[in-house]
Structure formats: structure tokens, C-alpha cells
Amino acid sequence: MALGYLLAVLATLASGSGSILESMGVQRAGAYGGRSLDLIALRRQWLYFLGLGVDLLGFALAAAALHRLPLFLVQSMLAFSVGVTAAISAFMGHRLRAPGWGALVVGAVGLVLLGVSAEPGPAQALSPQWRWILVGMVVPVGAIAVYARRHHHVWATVALAFGAGVAYSVVGISARTFELPDAVWRIVLEPAVWAMVLNGLAAAVLFAMALQKGGPTGVTAIMFTTNTTLSSFVGLVYLDDHVRDGFVNAATVGFVLAIVGAIAVAHYSADTRPRELATPAGVRA
């Protein structure tokens, strides 16, 4: 069980730092606030791909943790990676208001309560039709990207972050229910693998588009709140995730504190666009 907690903590750190690196890449590419086609310039930004790689490492760590711990705990920890994002931004010179630091403490208390409330164990297996439905979730997620390309108001950013959260929740649910087949080559036939790959790619694209229109902390807050709420509900209702006997109230309070803390950190983060990281003349690739 201790290994599961360690993996979840490392996944949280990776997700939070990966968001900062991806945002830096988007801004250095000159794509912030532009059109979605401007994201093509990211191909020359190693910082963005470094951030994406750190995010992938975080996913691998989270997937390993999900084989040992319930979704509501692991996904709540990943949601609180917005605190890691805000803390790194503050360290890099961006003011985090005093209530924001208090929100970090509130969220941390929530995670502790969730940690002591979670009942470790494997998930209930999904039927084949539900596993293929998870694969098909990439279609409505892709529709959100099409919508956002045609609209540039604030709700387009919210929709992109929400869509990324939905896609990442599908990835988490698939990782929680994935079982390694006896023959390694049969992995390519597993719907859970395709659900993770397709929805993971879709989430990465929507997240990049959202970062183009909004700051990393706000976008990350919406994405991870959606991810946590949806996947936790599915885990508790359909995947046989459990709370320890007598700890239901603690788990409920912990979940609320973790999510509220993450949202509050985003709210009290002043300007999440790294001013000193904006590309100076002559530096852009």
C-alpha cells in the first residue's frame, strides 16, 4: 500500500510540473492567444515536449498507483497537482496571494483525510461493451475541439479544459480496470489500451488548445476538477472502490477540501502567465 501512495505522490508532482513546462512551450512558440493552427509552432519547442514527457511519466506513475488505490484518492491527488503548478509559478516569481497559500494547506488536509479513508484493492472488471464505450468517448471529446476552433470567447476555454478533464477521466478509468493479458502481444487487442491512447492524445490536444487561450493554473483547475469528480463517481458506483469502515464522513470532507483547495489556489493565483518566460526578440525558434 505504501508503494501506491508513493506512486500517487510522484504522479502529482509530475503532472503539476508538466503543466508549467507545456505552458512555457506554448508561450515561447508565440501561440498564446492565437489560433489553434498556431499550435503547429510547438513542433520546435522542446520545453513543450519535455512537459508532455513529464506528463506521460506522471500518467505511468498514476496508472501504477491505480492498480493499488481507488480512483477517488489517486484522481484527487492528481487534481491537487494544480497546487504544484501554482507553487512552481510562485517560485518563478509570480505572486500567489496569501489566501492561495492557505488554500494549499486546505487541499493538503483534504488529501490526508482521503489517504486514511481509502481502502486499497483492485477494481471490478468492466464488461466488454463498456470498455468499447470508453474508446468511443474520444468522439464527443473531439467535437469539443471542433467547437472551440470556431469560437474564441471564454466559454471555449472552459469547454476545452472540461473536455480534457473528461478524456483524462476515461484514461484513469481505463487504467484502473486494465488487466495485463497472458500473451503480451494481445495488448494491442485490449479496448482499455486504445481508450487510454486515443483519449490521452485527445486530452493532450485539448489541453494545449486551452493553454493557448488561458493560464495554466485556471485551465488545470477545471481539467482536474472534472477529471476527479467524474472518475471518482464511476469508481465508487461502478468499479467497487471502497472507503474504510467508519471513514465515510472523513472521505467526504477530504474530497470536498481537496477540490475546493485546488479551485481556490487557481482563483488566488494572480497572473499565471510567466512574464519573464515570454519569448524575447531574436530568441523564438
Q: Output the tens digit of pLDDT for each of the chain's 285 residues.
A: 688 899 999 999 998 888 788 777 766 665 445 455 455 556 667 777 888 889 889 888 988 899 889 999 998 888 888 788 888 877 777 777 788 889 889 988 999 999 999 988 888 888 888 889 999 999 999 998 888 877 767 778 889 999 999 999 999 999 998 887 777 777 888 899 999 999 989 998 898 788 777 776 678 778 878 888 899 999 998 898 989 999 999 999 999 998 888 878 877 764 444 443 333 333 333
Would 81 be classed as within a structural domain?
Answer: yes
So what's the pLDDT on residue 140? 94
Q: How far apart are CA 246 and CA 258, in angstroms?
A: 20
Would 284 be classed as within a structural domain?
Answer: no
Would 285 be classed as within a structural domain?
Answer: no
Would 237 be classed as within a structural domain?
Answer: yes
Would 97 be classed as within a structural domain?
Answer: yes
C-alpha cell at 63: 496508472
Q: How far apart are CA 282 and CA 180, in angstroms?
A: 50
Would 20 be classed as within a structural domain?
Answer: yes
- Count of domains for the chain: 1
Would 283 be classed as within a structural domain?
Answer: no
Would 282 be classed as within a structural domain?
Answer: no
What length is written for the chain? 285
Taking each helix axis from N to C terminus, what angle separates 154-177 and 46-66, rounded to the nearest 10 degrees?
40
Which CA distances in Å does 38 have to 27, 131, 161, 208, 209?
Answer: 11, 35, 18, 11, 10
- Structural domain for 197, as ranges: 2-277
Q: How far apart are CA 124 and CA 51, in angstroms?
A: 33
The angle formed by the CA atoms of residues 186, 52 and 115, to the nearest 5 degrees, is 80
Q: How far apart are CA 3 and CA 6, in angstroms?
A: 5
So what's the pLDDT on residue 29? 63
So what's the pLDDT on residue 276? 39
Which CA distances in Å does 164 have to 68, 73, 94, 116, 251?
Answer: 24, 19, 25, 29, 26
